[in-house]
Amino acid sequence: MMGAPALAPPVRESGGRIRQENEAQILRAAEHVFARAGFAGATMADIALQAGMPKSNLHYYFRTKQALYRAVLAHTLQLWLSETDIISADHAPRVALEQYIRAKMRLSASHPDASRVFANELLHGAPEIGGVLREALRELVTRKAMVIRSWIEDGQMARVDPYHLFFTIWAATQTYADFDAQVCAVLGVSQLDTEDFERATEHLVALLLRGCGLDQKASLA
């Protein structure tokens, strides 16, 4: 799995646990504000208020709103992509894909605002992260697609398009964060709880593995 995407990093110094905790607190606050107001509508004052710290402290860690926004995108992409480590020749396809799907669902449950910020960036043409998508992300997915193709050629799973398999997994898992209002409306609940996510996860695992010919009842194509 690749490391942090090549976005402009926040201001750094040799710091320790307190700095890391403060940056994590700021990123979560920024996710919340950006997810609701968008980049244009968000202000550093709103983010500082959400983070529970003076705006001057916020500027100490992130000099500009754009730097903070790019840090949120980079952090989100790093979280998502680190989970692809399991997709390797050292693992069986069923184990690797199941763990990857489950990990993506856990991230949708634990970081819904981050997912919404990222989705909004893509809906606007990815002006801040487009280069990373075309270079680092493309390179990573191409490498993982080669692993999936090797599983297919070895007869370990059905013949699926590796790239579109990734698109399907991303769409299916991230919808529970990005479009939770729609999901909640149809399910008749005010918000998704742990049980809802568990039920959705089991459904997606079964559905996607079956499509890949990886459940016991499916035959490899």
pLDDT tens digit sequence for 139-164: 999 999 999 999 999 999 999 999 99
pLDDT, tens digit, 9 for 90 and up, residues 89-111:
999 999 999 999 999 999 999 99
The pTM is what?
A: 0.87
Taking alpha carbons only, the member of 162, 140, 138, 139 closest to residue 150 is 162
In this prediction, residue 14 has a pLDDT band, given cuts at 50, 70 and 90, of very low
Which residue matches tokens 């402009």? 8
Check whether 32 has a pLDDT greater than 60: yes
Predicted pLDDT of residue 15: 56
Q: Enumerate long-range contacts of 167-170, CB under 8 Å, 24 or more apart.
A: 168/208, 169/100, 169/101, 169/104, 169/208, 170/104
The 10s digit of each residue's pLDDT in 111-136 is 999 999 999 999 999 999 999 999 99
CB 69 within 8 A of CB 150: no
**CA 165, CA 148: separation in Å to the nearest integer?**
10
Q: How far apart are CA 55 and CA 38, in angstroms?
A: 19
Helix (H) or strand (E) holding 27: helix 17-41
Domains of the chain and any CATH numbers: 17-211 (1.10.357.10)
Which has the closest alpha carbon to 215: 105, 91, 94, 96?
A: 94
* Residues 6 or more apart in contact with residue 5 via CB below 8 angstroms: 73, 74, 77, 78, 129, 132, 136, 137
